[in-house]
């Protein structure tokens, strides 16, 4: 199995993996931030399970072009989905690949949680899975408040995240890239949520309230801290995911 690279819309760099047998079941992984963009382990795990997998870098982050937070990051996911049947280039061998998905699943963690939940509004998305998702930017935890996170990201990651202060401020208003703001529209039946009650980065209470408001399934753990995309390979997660996706 080979994990290769491609680019969507001439801006969004993504890693992707194909299973041994051709699969029309697609998973798009949306990572948290800031942090390493690598996600090879989770790509390999789900590719071996028979999924075609993608891990995009949000616009304006890491290798991708554009400006971070100029538009909602979930739009990057929708742009990726749009291009699958049109074709994308394997940048390793220059081969053009077309995928006509029968099922599309979006997995997001932390910052990537809103991308998954907001993408669920698209009818092509069958199910979403979110671990420790940011539900409401106006109710962030005390460990990483938005002001601190902006300064830390700029100082510690430099050009890995290219955004303006003005665009960052959109998060504080509670309407931009904010699942709680449109909770009445989000199809909760599509969503499986994971959250640890001792998470001091993203409040567990917000996820609990969101699950109650939308009908999403919530799997809570008393301990576990702040989850990321890598947790999706762990047995205690995968057994719930397997049931949710009916695989």
Residue ranges covered by each domain of the chain: 3-245
What distance separates the 2 farthest-apart alpha carbons in the chain?
47
E strand residue ranges, the chain = 3-8, 12-17, 25-30, 52-56, 88-89, 96-97, 103-109, 125-131, 191-196, 217-221
Cα–Cα distance between 243 and 247 in angstroms, integer?
A: 7
pLDDT digits (tens, 9 = 90+) for 122-144: 999 999 999 999 999 999 878 88
In this structure, the chain runs to a length of 247
Domain 3-245: state its class.
alpha beta
Write down the pTM of the prediction. Answer: 0.96
pLDDT above 80 (res 200): yes
pLDDT above 80 (res 247): no
pLDDT above 90 (res 64): yes
């Amino acid at each position: 199995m080979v994990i290769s690279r491609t680019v969507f819309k001439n801006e969004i760099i993504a890693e992707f993996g194909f299973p041994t047998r051709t699969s029309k079941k697609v998973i798009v992984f949306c990572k948290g931030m800031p942090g390493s963009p690598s996600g090879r382990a989770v790509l390999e795990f789900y590719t071996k399970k028979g999924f075609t997998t993608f891990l995009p870098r949000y616009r304006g982050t890491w290798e991708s072009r554009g400006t971070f937070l100029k538009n909602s990051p979930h739009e990057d996911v929708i742009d990726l989905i749009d291009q699958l049947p049109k074709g994308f280039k394997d940048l390793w061998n220059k081969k053009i690949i077309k995928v006509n998905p029968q099922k599309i699943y979006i997995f997001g963690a932390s910052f990537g949680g809103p991308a998954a939940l907001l993408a669920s509004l698209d009818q092509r998305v069958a199910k979403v899975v979110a671990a420790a998702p940011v539900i409401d930017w106006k109710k962030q935890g005390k460990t990483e408040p938005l002001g601190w996170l902006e300064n830390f990201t700029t100082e510690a990651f430099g050009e890995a995240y290219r955004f303006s202060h003005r665009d960052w401020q959109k998060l504080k208003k509670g309407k931009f890239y904010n699942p709680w703001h449109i909770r009445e529209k989000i199809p909760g039946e599509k969503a499986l949520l994971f959250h640890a009650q001792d998470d001091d980065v993203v409040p567990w209470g917000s996820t609990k309230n969101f699950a109650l408001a939308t009908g999403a399934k919530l799997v809570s753990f008393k301990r576990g801290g702040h989850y990321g995309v890598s947790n999706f390979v762990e047995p205690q997660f995968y057994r719930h995911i397997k049931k949710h996706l009916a695989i």
